[in-house]
Amino acid sequence: MKRILVNKVFLKNMLVIAIPIALQNLIITSLNMLDTLMISELGKSSIAAVGLANQLFFFYSLILFGINSGASIFISQYWGKKDKENIKSILGLAVILTTLTGLIFTIIALFFPELVMRFFIKEDIVIKLGCDYLRIVSISYIITGVSFSYSIASRSVGYAKMPMVVSFISFITNAVFNYLLIFGKLGFPKLGVKGAAYGTLIARIVEILFILYFVYKDIEPLAGNIKELTSWPKGFIKRYFKTAYPVVINEALWALGQVMYSAAYARIGEEATAAVQIAATIQNVFFVLVRGLANACTVMVGNKIGEGNEDESYEYAIQFLTMSTISGLVLGLLLFLTPDLTLKLFRSLDFDVYNLSRNLIMVMGLFYFIRTFNATLIVGVLRGGGDTSFSMYLEMGAVWLVGVPLAFLGALLFKLPVYLVFVLVSLEEIVKAAIGLPRVLSKKWIKNVT
């Protein structure tokens, strides 16, 4: 820890990148919490419906994250070399891939929402509310994908403040229109769950307009024209996919694993589904600092490798892992000790949902530090270092060979309450840490992909 505090260059660079990302994540998670708070006023069926409907977007968003994390590995290393031409080419490729992916998910949500909802739950009222939400919010998927590409790219070239500012604007927009349209205020129609979907759609439109404005006004390395964004030299796309495909597959299968967890929780009942949605929303607020550290690690480790400073990239990795573990211990303890305080925000919860949420939050607190370590290990160190294949096998093995089987055994065979099923699921984090740490110490993860 002393070495971290002494290294002023590391601290300065880390804070410049991590603080805006953490603040952006705080804004996004605060918006999710505000959504959940407003929807909780409509009852547990509405909470369950929106939570399950958003599992499709969650799956989509993690694929987006995979595509753009793969791109950010290149962009970070190209930025270390000040190669602006290739930065624009990689960005253009990421935008096209996210748009095509967004089109597929839009078609699914727009035309087959009932199929999506019935995968999770059998209660008709929850299915109907979820379908109403999906049909509207699906229109925002492609817009969100493009925003995602520009936001992650801007962080990779050192412009982390822009996505933070735009996220704040989006937060205010979403909050205002949610309030107006969910509850029918100031002459607007009272639309309930549909109002939440319209609020999200309006906010996404505002978000993409501001992102494009700021990029083409201030961020020259990303402000490419059509020709620059689609100018891919021979072998360029192949090289991107060779590095990025493990990240995309990793995120897609990891996200699908999380969807399967939600399906297992939903089999326990409507109360369990609502409790998971509430507890996860609270946990995500606590997770914003770690996301900032993990993303800063990706950029800084990638920059050092691009510069040819492999020894320093290893030092950075160890420093980030130490910081994320310490912050995880502190935040996990806080999460464990304050469930009643955080749940006071949700005034309309019935007794069963409240108790399940309380127990879930406490269990999440116990496993929190190891989750923060793994987040920085996989997203920050292994991906930032270009070791995408190993991180894919590590995460896929833990989720699909440990987490998913235990989730369904706990829910369907042993009939455990949802918080004990979560304990079983969390064993995957222990497996990841036990296998991942030796890889970091071996330095085999340091790969110059450019």
Phi, psi of 417 (to 5 degrees): -65, 160
pLDDT digits (tens, 9 = 90+) for 130-154: 999 999 999 999 999 999 999 989 9
264 falls within a domain: yes
449 falls within a domain: no
pLDDT digits (tens, 9 = 90+) for 237-283: 888 888 888 878 888 888 889 889 988 998 898 889 889 988 988 88
Q: Residue 212 belongs to what domain range?
A: 2-442
pLDDT digits (tens, 9 = 90+) for 378-392: 988 998 888 888 988
448 falls within a domain: no
Alpha-carbon span 213 to 85, nearest angstrom: 20
Coil vs helix vs strand at 376: helix
Q: Which ranges constitute the DSSP H helices of 338-445? A: 339-343, 351-366, 368-375, 383-384, 388-398, 404-408, 418-425, 427-442
Element (H, E) at 109: helix 84-111
411 falls within a domain: yes
Q: Mean pLDDT, the chain, as a whole number?
A: 88
Torsion, CA 390, CA 394, CA 395, CA 399, rounded to 10: 150
Q: Do residues 140 and 161 make contact, with C-beta atoms less than 8 angstroms apart?
A: no
Task: Among 248-262, 336-350, 387-401, 403-417, name the most confident range.
Answer: 403-417
450 falls within a domain: no
Q: Which of 296, 400, 418 is nearest to 51 (CA)?
A: 418
288 falls within a domain: yes
Question: Which two tokens mark 88?
Answer: 């624009």
Q: How many domains does the chain have?
A: 1
pTM score: 0.76
**What per-residue confidence (pLDDT) applies to 5?**
47
Ramachandran assignment for 189, one of left (phi > 0), alpha (psi -120 to 50 degrees), beta (any other): beta
What is the percentage of the chain residues whose pLDDT exceeds 90?
Answer: 48
447 falls within a domain: no
Q: Would the pLDDT of 437 be above 90?
A: yes
pLDDT digits (tens, 9 = 90+) for 292-323: 888 788 888 888 887 878 888 899 899 999 99
Torsion, CA 116, CA 119, CA 120, CA 125, rounded to 10: 70
Coil vs helix vs strand at 191: coil
Residue 373, amino acid: F
